[in-house]
Amino acid sequence: MFDLVIKGGQIVTATDTYDADIGISDGQIAALGRGLDGQDTIDATGKLVMPGGIEAHCHIAQESATGGMTSDDYRSGSISAAFGGNSCFVPFAAQHRGMGVTETLDLYDSRAQGSSVIDYGYHLIVADPTEKVLTEELPAAFARGVTSFKVFMTYDLMRVDDRQFLDILTVAKTHGALTMVHAENSGMISWISDRLVAAGHTSPRYHAPSHPALAESEAVNRAISLAKLVDAALLIVHVSTPEGAALISDARLAGAKIFGETCTQYLFLTRDDLDRPGMDGAKFMCSPPLRDVPTQEALWRHLQAGTFSVFSSDHAPYRFDESGKLANGPDATFKQIANGMPGIGMRLPMLFSEGVGKGRITLQQFVALSATNAARLYGLEKKGSIAIGMDADIAIWDPNETRTVTVEDQHDNMNYTPFEGWQVTGWPVTVLSRGHRVIDAGKLLAQPGHGQYVARAKTDLTGYPGHRAVELDPKTNFGAEIAP
Ligand code: DUC
Ligand code: ZN
Ligand code: ZN
């Protein structure tokens, strides 16, 4: 007799589709079979039973370097994620200059503990790689289960230079952590932005030309080169251009430990959305910016071909009012408007409807992109699949439910969704976290605090031969041991 049995559904994993019941005890999957009985039962007849989504790129209770706070905290952000089919998420914990890493993680612990309805971890943003950070605090973060570190190549208050980037890659490599990078060329962006503003081109639509595709591809190429120099693992986040994606694909083909991520908005929105009347374009400002339809098609090809291991929302919620997008007034220039848009609740319904529903990806690819790949890459050892011994983090989808997207359906703290009015088919109707119903039939059933911190393991790099620069290899550099 199990605590809970999910009966009659079609189970989908990253490799298989099969009919079976799932027996759950003590929050874990205890059996897969037929005719299982439990103290409690969920009838999943006609439904798809999949691993709960893992949202691996979102900004929750995070202040920017200039002080603006995201509108979602761990309560509202996790609730919105859960309504969108997720049972785990990994937001960022952002170090700002002058802050320690341990202090940063303690701060985010205080924001997350007792608030989240789903399990969570953090990626650490490193903006101030002092000697203490490199030698003491990053290893301590890793030991605490924070096994991924993000760096920025742009934003004056956040970015690291190439040498600092190499230091972080090297420490990450030593411990088995994964470095993540926001890859855009800072000088190109500030040079164009200043010229646009000086010429009076200040409205939100000029955010697109201020962040040219070349700024992304130059930085992606440089980031990959730095990672290859020290043979470290690197994930390029929120890739928005075919050129950036092709660089990642080439590096992967060459065996380098390079990974890529793209996001919902780059597949479904374009720079024309930035050109909406008045300040409405501000709702669609994110960095890198939205591109065009040919770019969307190229990014779909890369998603299908496996260039992108992860597909994320990059939920960075700033309300369309003076608390968020309009904090610098109704006439702010595009340079003064917060970058980011919400989407944690729409990542999976959009990918399911437009991906699986329109024959662009298989159900298996959907599961891989929604949960399994992120679990493996980010060391969430008990999550991301339906197998005996895994956490019972499960999303049950009605593949036929059709909805028109509204902001009310997002259950976040936002006053808009960039996907308003889209028709989607396929909806997560029940979401379980460690066997506990978080969402069922449109209702929130978990309390804030149900979600627990998950210490993550290191990335499995099996199958990546890597790349040893001859200049760093003692066999070919006259015996100099200068990097691990
Ligand atoms: N980078 C992100 O990852 N999200 C929002 C804005 C940004 O620059
Ligand atoms: Zn970024
Ligand atoms: Zn982001």
Looking up residue 160, the CATH number of its domain turns out to be 3.20.20.140
Cα–Cα distance for residue pair 299/406, rounded to 1 Å: 26
The answer to whether position 478 is within a domain reads no
Residue 472 forms beta bridges with which residues? none
Stated as kind and residue range, the H or E segment containing 10 is strand 10-12
CA pair distance 132, 57, nearest whole angstrom: 27
Query: Is residue 6 in a domain?
Result: no
Atom of ligand 1 nearest to the CA of 154: 8
Q: What does the block give as tokens for 185?
A: 């060329």
The string of pLDDT tens digits covering residues 193-236 is 999 999 999 999 999 999 999 999 999 999 999 999 999 999 99
Cα(435) to ligand 2 centroid in Å equals 33
Helix (H) or strand (E) holding 125: strand 123-125
Q: How far is the CA of 314 from the centre of ligand 2 (A)?
A: 8
**DSSP for residue 171:** H
Amino acid 468 reads R
- Give per-residue pLDDT as tens, 101-149: 999 999 999 999 999 999 999 999 999 999 999 999 999 999 999 999 9
Dist. CA 95–CA 325, nearest whole Å: 22
Report CA(314)–ligand 1 centroid distance (Å).
7
Q: How far apart are CA 416 and CA 343, in angstroms?
A: 10
**Ligand 1 pocket mutation pick from 55, 57, 58, 59 by most atoms within 8 angstroms of CB:** 59
| Protein residue with its CA nearest to atom 5 in ligand 1 | 340
Q: 287 alpha carbon to ligand 2 midpoint, in Å?
A: 7
pLDDT digits (tens, 9 = 90+) for 243-282: 999 999 999 999 999 999 999 999 999 999 999 999 999 9
DSSP state for residue 130 in the 8-state scheme: -
Q: At 120, phi and psi to the nearest 5? A: -150, 160
- The sign of the dihedral angle between the CA atoms of 469, 470, 474, 475 is positive
Q: From CA 345, how far away is CA 332, in angstroms rounded?
A: 29
Contacts of residue 443, Cβ cutoff 8 Å, sequence gap at least 6: none
288-422-260 Cα angle (round to 5)? 30
Q: What percent of the chain has pLDDT over 90?
A: 98
Q: Is 203 in the pocket of ligand 1 (CB under 6 A)?
A: no
Question: How far apart are the CA of 241 and the centre of ligand 3, in A?
Answer: 16
The alpha carbon of residue 234 and the mean position of all alpha carbons in its chain are separated, in whole angstroms, by 14
Is residue 340 lining ligand 1, measured as CB closer than 6 Å? yes
Let me know if residue 135 belongs to a domain: yes
AA letter at 466? G
Kindly state if the Cβ of 341 falls inside 6 Å of ligand 1.
no
- Sheet strands (E) in 135-223: 148-152, 178-182
- The residues placing their C-beta within 5 Å of ligand 3, an ion, are 314
Rounded to the nearest 5°, which phi and psi values hold at 253?
-60, -30
Report how many domains make up the chain.
1
3-class SS of residue 2: strand
| Closest Cα to atom 8 of ligand 1 | 287
In a domain, 99, yes or no: yes
Q: Is residue 467 one of the residues assigned to a domain? A: no
List, for residues 398-426, the tens digit of each pLDDT value.
999 999 999 999 999 999 999 999 999 99
Q: Is the CB of 173 under 6 A from ligand 1?
A: no
Q: Would you say residue 285 lies in a domain?
A: yes
Quote the domain boundaries for residue 354: 53-370
Cα-only R_g, the chain? 22
74 within a domain of the structure (yes/no): yes
Q: Say if ligand 1 is within 6 A of residue 236 CB.
A: no
Q: What's the token pair of residue 52? A: 């709960």
Substitution site in 123, 182, 235 for ligand 1 pocket (most atoms within 8 Å of beta carbon): 182
Give residue 67's pLDDT. Answer: 84
287 close to ligand 1 (CB < 6 Angstrom): yes
What is the pLDDT of the chain when averaged over all its residues? Answer: 97
Inter-helix orientation angle 213-229/186-198, to 10°: 160
Residue 65 pLDDT class (50, 70, 90 cuts): confident
Residue nearest to atom 7 of ligand 1 (CA): 287
**Domain-located, residue 353:** yes
Q: If 0-12 CB within 10 Å is exposed, 13-18 middle and 19+ buried, where does residue 26 land? A: exposed
**Alpha carbon 38 to chain centroid, angstroms:** 35
Residues 346, 84: Cα–Cα separation, whole Å:
6
Omega cis (within 30) before 288: yes
pLDDT at 294: 98
